[in-house]
C-alpha cells in the first residue's frame, strides 16, 4: 500500500525526519528501517509528495526503479560503516557523535572527484572564485548559492556533498559581479552552465539575478540550466506561483539570440509517464528553449537496454534531445550503483540499435573523469589483444579531443582510473594517462 495522496500541484518535501514513517507504510521491519535510516544519516535523503504519490509504483517497491532512485538502500554504505551508524542510531547516541561518525565515513567516499575543489576552480585577479568551475576552455559552471538543493535527491547523486550540511564540502557563490568580471576577462568562454543542486528550486526572481547578468556578455552564446525538476517537480513549469515568470525568463534568454538549453536529468522512462511532465515540456519548448536529456547508467535502476531505448524514444517523441548517458562517478555509493564499463557499453549499444536516427544524438557511455569526458566507443580486438576503444569528447587539454585511444580490456573496470593502456604502452596518448 502506498502513501496517501497529498494533492497535485502542492509541493511538500519529505526529509530524513519523515523516512521512518514512509518506510512503515511499506510494512518494513524495525531492523530494515534502521538500516535505511543509518544510510540516510550519512548520505542525503529528500523526496516529495509528487514523487511519492505520482511516480513511484508502490506495488513494485522496494524494487520499483523510482523507489530505488529516491529512497536509501542498505548497500549504499560499506557493511562496517552501516553497522556503526545503525548502532549509534539504535543506541540513541548524542547527535554530535552521530555527526562526527557520519563525517568520517563521508571523507572516505571521495566527496569531490575529478579535481572539483582544486583543478577546476578558476582564479581572477589573484582570488579563487570558489562557486565557479572552469574545466574546459569554452564552458564555465556557476553554482548559485540559493540553488544548492533539489526537489528530491537521487540516491546515486555525484553531487551529494552539496546536501549533507557540511559547508566546507559545498560549492556555491552569490557573487555575480566577480563571475561576470571573470567571463569578460575570458572571451573564450562561450557557454555558461548554471547548476547545483538544482537552480530551479529558486524562484524566478532569484534565478533572474544569476541569468540576466550573463545576457550583458557578448561572448556568452549559450546558457544551460542543469535540472531534475521535470522528473521530480514538473509543476514548477505549470502551476507554481511563478511558473509563468520563469517561462518569461526563458523566453527572454531565447529572444536575446542565445541558445537556452534546459539540461534535463531523466533516469528512467517511468519519470515521463505523468501527464504533467508532458505539459511542462511543451510549455518550456514554447519559450524557444531546447530540452537536452542526460542521466547516468545505474545498477538496479536503469541497467537494461530496454529502459534506455524507452527513455530516448519517448524524450525524442516529446521534442527533447537525448544528450549523454553517463557512467556512475567514482564518488559516494558508486560501489553499489556502478555498472562495469564492458556491461555498460553493451547496454548502450543494444539500446542505440533500437532507436531511430533522431534519438541517436545521444553519446555514451561517458565518464566525466579528471582529463575530461571519456567516451567508451567499443570493444574490439587489435593485434590479438582485446581492447576498449575510447576517445575524449571534451578535455582539459583541447589537443586531446576526439583522438581515439585504446585501453586493455577489463571485464570488471568501472571507472577510467581502473583502465590501463593497451599494448603495454605507458600512456593512452601523449599527455593522457589514467591518473
Average of per-residue pLDDT across 351-371: 97
Range of the domain at 48: 13-107
Domain termination site, one of 297, 324, 351 = 324
pLDDT of res. 113:
82
- In this predicted structure, the answer to whether residue 6 has a pLDDT above a threshold of 70 is no
Same domain as 65, residue 162: no
pLDDT of res. 5:
44
361, part of any domain: no
Same domain as 192, residue 53: no
Same domain as 280, residue 149: yes
The least confident of 23-32, 77-86, 245-254, 403-412 is 23-32
Average of per-residue pLDDT across 152-176: 92
For the chain, the average pLDDT equals: 95
pLDDT of res. 389:
98
The DSSP H or E segment spanning 387 is strand 385-395
Dist CA 403 CA 111 (whole Å): 30
Cα torsion angle, 100, 106, 108, 110, sign? negative
Residues 314-331: b if buried by 16+ CB within 10 A, e if exposed: bbbeeebbbbbbbbbbbb
pLDDT of res. 420:
97
Q: Is the pTM of this model over 0.75?
A: yes
| Beta strand pairing call for 222-227 and 363-368 | unpaired
Beta bridge partners of 127: 124
The least confident of 250-254, 348-352, 405-409, 429-433 is 429-433
Summarize pLDDT for 14-73 with one digit per residue, the tens: 999 999 999 988 888 999 999 999 999 999 999 999 999 999 999 998 999 999 999 999
Same domain as 139, residue 68: no
- In this predicted structure, the answer to whether residue 390 has a pLDDT above a threshold of 90 is yes
Which backbone phi and psi does 412 adopt, to 5 degrees?
-100, -5
Same domain as 158, residue 213: yes
pLDDT of res. 367:
98
Which backbone phi and psi does 175 adopt, to 5 degrees?
-105, 80
Dist CA 222 CA 213 (whole Å): 13
Same domain as 294, residue 157: yes
Domain termination site, one of 324, 341, 359 = 324
pLDDT of res. 21:
92
- In this predicted structure, the answer to whether residue 240 has a pLDDT above a threshold of 60 is yes
Average of per-residue pLDDT across 369-391: 97
pLDDT of res. 26:
82
Dist CA 336 CA 348 (whole Å): 20
Place of cell 541517436: 360
pLDDT of res. 375:
98
177, part of any domain: yes
Beta bridge partners of 390: 376, 405
354, part of any domain: no
| Beta strand pairing call for 123-124 and 363-368 | unpaired
pLDDT of res. 4:
41
Same domain as 206, residue 75: no
381, part of any domain: no
List Cβ neighbours of 426 (8 Å cut-off, separation of 6 or more).
433
Domain termination site, one of 263, 289, 324 = 324
Dist CA 185 CA 217 (whole Å): 10
Query: Cα 102 to chain center, whole Å?
Result: 22
412, part of any domain: no
- In this predicted structure, the answer to whether residue 379 has a pLDDT above a threshold of 90 is yes
Indicate the pLDDT class of residue 10, thresholds 50, 70 and 90.
Answer: confident
Q: Cell numbers at residue 322, please?
A: 537525448
- In this predicted structure, the answer to whether residue 7 has a pLDDT above a threshold of 50 is no
pLDDT of res. 8:
60
- Judged on CB neighbours under 10 Å (0-12, 13-18, 19+), 222 is middle
- In this predicted structure, the answer to whether residue 115 has a pLDDT above a threshold of 80 is no
| Percent with pLDDT over 90 in the chain | 92
pLDDT of res. 229:
98
Nearest to 207 by CA among 242, 170, 157: 242
Same domain as 147, residue 180: yes
Indicate the pLDDT class of residue 3, thresholds 50, 70 and 90.
Answer: very low
Same domain as 162, residue 80: no
pLDDT of res. 150:
97
The structural domain count of the chain equals 2
Same domain as 58, residue 128: no
Same domain as 202, residue 270: yes
CATH code (residue 256): 3.20.20.70
232, part of any domain: yes
222, part of any domain: yes
53, part of any domain: yes
Dist CA 366 CA 345 (whole Å): 10
Average of per-residue pLDDT across 349-375: 97
Same domain as 179, residue 132: yes
Amino acid at each position: 500500500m502506498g502513501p496517501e495522496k497529498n494533492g497535485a500541484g502542492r509541493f511538500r518535501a519529505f526529509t530524513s525526519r519523515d523516512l521512518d514513517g514512509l518506510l512503515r507504510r511499506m510494512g518494513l521491519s524495525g531492523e530494515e528501517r534502521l538500516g535505511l535510516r543509518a544510510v540516510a544519516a550519512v548520505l542525503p535523503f529528500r523526496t516529495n509528495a509528487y514523487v511519492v504519490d505520482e511516480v513511484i509504483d508502490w506495488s513494485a517497491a522496494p524494487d520499483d526503479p523510482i523507489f530505488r532512485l529516491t529512497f536509501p538502500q542498505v548497500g549504499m554504505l560499506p557493511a562496517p560503516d552501516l553497522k556503526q551508524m545503525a548502532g549509534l542510531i539504535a543506541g540513541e547516541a548524542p547527535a554530535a557523535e552521530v555527526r562526527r561518525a557520519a563525517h568520517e565515513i563521508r571523507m572516505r567516499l571521495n566527496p569531490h572527484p575529478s579535481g572539483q575543489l582544486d583543478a577546476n576552480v578558476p582564479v581572477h585577479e589573484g582570488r579563487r572564485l570558489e562557486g565557479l568551475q572552469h574545466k574546459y576552455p569554452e564552458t564555465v559552471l556557476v553554482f548559485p548559492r540559493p540553488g544548492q538543493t533539489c526537489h528530491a535527491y537521487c540516491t546515486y547523486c555525484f553531487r551529494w556533498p552539496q546536501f549533507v550540511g557540511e559547508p566546507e564540502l559545498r560549492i556555491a557563490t552569490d557573487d555575480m559581479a566577480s563571475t561576470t568580471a571573470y567571463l569578460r576577462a575570458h572571451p573564450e568562454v562561450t557557454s555558461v552552465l548554471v547548476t547545483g543542486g538544482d537552480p530551479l528550486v529558486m524562484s524566478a526572481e532569484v534565478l533572474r539575478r544569476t541569468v540576466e547578468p550573463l545576457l550583458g556578455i557578448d561572448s556568452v552564446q549559450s546558457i544551460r540550466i542543469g535540472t531534475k525538476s521535470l522528473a521530480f517537480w514538473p509543476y514548477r513549469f505549470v502551476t507554481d506561483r511563478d511558473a509563468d515568470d520563469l517561462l518569461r525568463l526563458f523566453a527572454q534568454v531565447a529572444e536575446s539570440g542565445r541558445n537556452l538549453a534546459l539540461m534535463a536529468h531523466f533516469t528512467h522512462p517511468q519519470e515521463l509517464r505523468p501527464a504533467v511532465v508532458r505539459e511542462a515540456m511543451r510549455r518550456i519548448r514554447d519559450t524557444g528553449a531546447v530540452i537536452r536529456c542526460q542521466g547516468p547508467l545505474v545498477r538496479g535502476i536503469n541497467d537494461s537496454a530496454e529502459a534506455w531505448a524507452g527513455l530516448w524514444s519517448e524524450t525524442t517523441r516529446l521534442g527533447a534531445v537525448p544528450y549523454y548517458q553517463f557512467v556512475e562517478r567514482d564518488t559516494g555509493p558508486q560501489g553499489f550503483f556502478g555498472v562495469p564499463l564492458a556491461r555498460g557499453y553493451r547496454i548502450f549499444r543494444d539500446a542505440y540499435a533500437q532507436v531511430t536516427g533522431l534519438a541517436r544524438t545521444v553519446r555514451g557511455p561517458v565518464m566525466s573523469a579528471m582529463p575530461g569526458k571519456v567516451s567508451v566507443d567499443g570493444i574490439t580486438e587489435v593485434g590479438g589483444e582485446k581492447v576498449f576503444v575510447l576517445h575524449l569528447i571534451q578535455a582539459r587539454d583541447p589537443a586531446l579531443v576526439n583522438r581515439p585511444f585504446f585501453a586493455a580490456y577489463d571485464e570488471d573496470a568501472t571507472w577510467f582510473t581502473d583502465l590501463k593502456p593497451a599494448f603495454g604502452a605507458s600512456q593512452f596518448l601523449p599527455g593522457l594517462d589514467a591518473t
